[in-house]
Amino acid sequence: MQPFDSIRAIQPAGMNAIIVYFTGEDVAAANAWCQRWAHTVRAAKPDWLTSLLPSYDSLVISFKPECIDFHGVYQFLRHCRTVKNDPSGDPQHHRVQVWYGADDANDLKEISRHTGLTTDEIIALHTETTYRVFAVGFAPGFAYLGELDPRLACPRLDSPRQHVPEGAVAIADRQTAVYPSESPGGWHLLGLTNAPLFDSESASARFAVGDTVQFVGISEQEYNNGEQHDN
Amino acid sequence: MTTDKCCALMVKSPGMQALIMDDGRGAAQQQGFSESGPMDDDAFFWANWLCENPSSTPQIEWVGEAEFEATQTINVAVTGPGAEVQVNGKSHAMWTTLRLKAGDRLSVTPDNMGTRHYLAVSGRWQVPKVARSASTVIREHLGGLSRDGSALVTGDAIPIDVRITEDIRELPEAMRPAYSPDTPFAVIPGYQYNWFSPVSQQLFFSSVYKITPQIDRMGYRLSGTAIQCSEHALRSEGITLGAIQLPPDGQPIVMMRDRQTLGGYPKLGCVSTNDISRLAQMVPGQPIEFEAQDAEQARATYLLKLRQRQLVTGSQYT
């Protein structure tokens, strides 16, 4: 399967799936192509499609083998005209309130040691960037946000924690994220948010790929009052 | 413990682990849900057919010796690798419809400890759904009777709108899965296959691997010849069923139903979906081998299997 246009490689991912890799000067550019292609395939609703798994610079397209083979999927992609916007709705912008330095989620000292920044500088850098959701995965509603200011980049913990609390705001390398539910995790923690990120009743996640997110610092008291002002 | 007055079946002993399972959350993977679904899709498919249920109807998937009690008249079917099935202490067959009356005790004792078995019950299962599936994912704390990912416990009652048909079905012997550990497992090369040297690729396909005790619904860790990859810097990407990850220690991990949706270890390909159910029934210590197969050949095998299924079920049932 020869690459073409924005597609730099295509590989089998089993009998009933292919993985498509996108070009781009940097991860943001490749991710934009990935999202555009994911929207295009989703909008076309081919009857053979079983699932789409977009990530940073790749897209897994799974199909029903009784309807098509991977050559057919390749031909479909070659004849697609990519659509620019997500037909399922415009990307949302989210403001997420964070109690930085919350007792249960505070690695600010560790982060200072790695970065040489003061707590105030760390919070200022984390809140001044508008992040883009590059991928959703790992756990339900877990959104990989980027890109973090390079001055804030920290490696992962040597050994992952068994329990990261729900709502923990975390960083690793050039990424940041919020843990939608309690889980193990190896990222450094900045604080807590009580913004609901995943609703298990409707099984819907708040952040979708392509959305933008900005963090806003709040006090412990505001956190405990639980006020939320989204968008 | 969950009880309900329209309950049809009660768990008397859940074995090592018993879970409510349907066909999973494939379409919700883009929101980060693991795919879930039955580890042994063949056994799951036939159990529902034997009970005249739509093919995605929930069932109980379990490991170990389990016992259930009917609380009203129900049709059930037990499928999976060899096991002793008894109703009130009397032996009965697997792969056939069984009629139970209120108070009947059904017990299943697997021949090999560690295999997975399925119990289907005729009717509409009144169990809650998360992201359009009742499947239990313990790690994600979702699905199952209480929606919170808990495994079934003794005393749990399964609410089902029971449907009784007079028809007793039996799956012909030739159609039952062979569960042979000796046939090599087909692998479709893909993903980062070209990151592995031709020597590493050959080593992988000529070595014998052992199933380790580190096997669960998320992944099967194997031990044997270490396969080294020349590169390790990979951005997280979508992981499909059967993907073979090679972490830095070179010991393969086959990703199964409850795998995370995205991951960043190099992968040399995928165990064919035709062979995943058989792999899911291997137990620790068993030696297995792999053979390379191209995607078209795997697809041909799959289409043949579908055709054979339809000869038994009729074309309407998929």
Q: Which of A58, A70, A140 sits opposite B237 (nearest CB)?
A: A58
The architecture (CATH level 2) of A93-225 comes to Beta Barrel (2.40)
Please say whether the beta carbons of A30 and A64 come within 8 A. Answer: no
Q: What is the pLDDT of residue A226?
A: 76
Beta partners for residue B125, in sequence order: B160
| High-pLDDT (> 90) share of chain A, % | 70
Please say whether the beta carbons of A10 and A19 come within 8 A. Answer: yes
Query: How far apart, in whole angstroms, are the C-alpha atoms of residue B252 and residue B271?
Result: 12
Q: What is the pLDDT of residue A83?
A: 75
Query: How far apart, in whole angstroms, are the C-alpha atoms of residue B133 and residue A185?
Result: 26
| Location of structure tokens 């028809």 | B167
Query: How far apart, in whole angstroms, are the C-alpha atoms of residue A81 and residue A76?
Result: 10
Q: How far is CA B156 from CA A32, B45, B159, B160, B295, in A?
A: 48, 24, 10, 13, 43
Q: Return the CATH class of domain B185-309.
A: mainly beta
Q: What is the pLDDT of residue A85?
A: 62
- pTM equals 0.91
Q: How far is B75 from chain A (nearest CA, A)?
A: 31
CA dihedral for B307, B298, B39, A186, sign (positive or negative): negative
Judged by a CB distance cut-off of 8 A, whether residue A28 touches chain B is no
- Identify which has the larger pLDDT, A77 or B249: A77
Query: How far apart, in whole angstroms, are the C-alpha atoms of residue B211 and residue B214?
Result: 8
Short-list A56, A17, A49, CA closest to A209: A56
CB contact under 8 A, B240 and A139: no
Please say whether the beta carbons of B264 and B237 come within 8 A. Answer: yes
Q: Return the CATH class of domain A7-78.
A: alpha beta
Q: B222-227, long-range: CB within 8 Å, 24+ apart, which pairs?
A: B222/B251, B222/B252, B222/B253, B222/B254, B222/B288, B223/B251, B224/B251, B224/B252, B225/B250, B226/B250, B226/B251, B227/B196, B227/B200, B227/B203, B227/B252, B227/B268
Read off the pLDDT band of A89 (50, 70, 90): low
CB contact under 8 A, B262 and A66: no
DSSP structure class, residue B6: T
pLDDT of A144 > 80? The answer is yes
Residue-by-residue pLDDT tens, chain B, 318 positions? 444 447 999 999 999 999 999 999 998 998 899 999 999 999 999 999 999 999 999 999 999 999 999 999 999 999 999 999 999 999 999 999 999 999 999 999 999 999 999 999 999 999 999 999 999 999 898 999 999 999 999 999 999 999 998 889 999 999 999 999 999 999 999 999 999 999 999 999 999 999 999 999 999 999 999 999 888 778 889 999 999 999 888 999 999 999 999 988 899 999 999 999 999 999 999 999 999 999 999 999 999 999 999 999 997 787
Q: What does the domain layout of chain B look like in residue ranges?
A: 7-175, 185-309
* Ranges A54-68, A168-182, B117-131, B199-213: which has the least confidence: A168-182
Judged by a CB distance cut-off of 8 A, whether residue A35 touches chain B is no
Q: What is the pLDDT of residue A228?
A: 56
Query: How far apart, in whole angstroms, are the C-alpha atoms of residue A65 and residue A47?
Result: 11
Q: What is the pLDDT of residue A179?
A: 93
CA dihedral for B204, B210, B213, B215, sign (positive or negative): positive
Choose the mutation target among A1, A11, A15, A20 for the interface with B, i.e. most B CBs under 10 Å: A15
Q: How far is A219 from chain B (nearest CA, A)?
A: 30
Considering chain A, tell me which residue range(s) the CATH 3.30.1360.40 domain(s) occupy. 7-78
pLDDT of A86 > 60? The answer is no
B33 contacts in chain A (CB < 8 Å): 140, 203
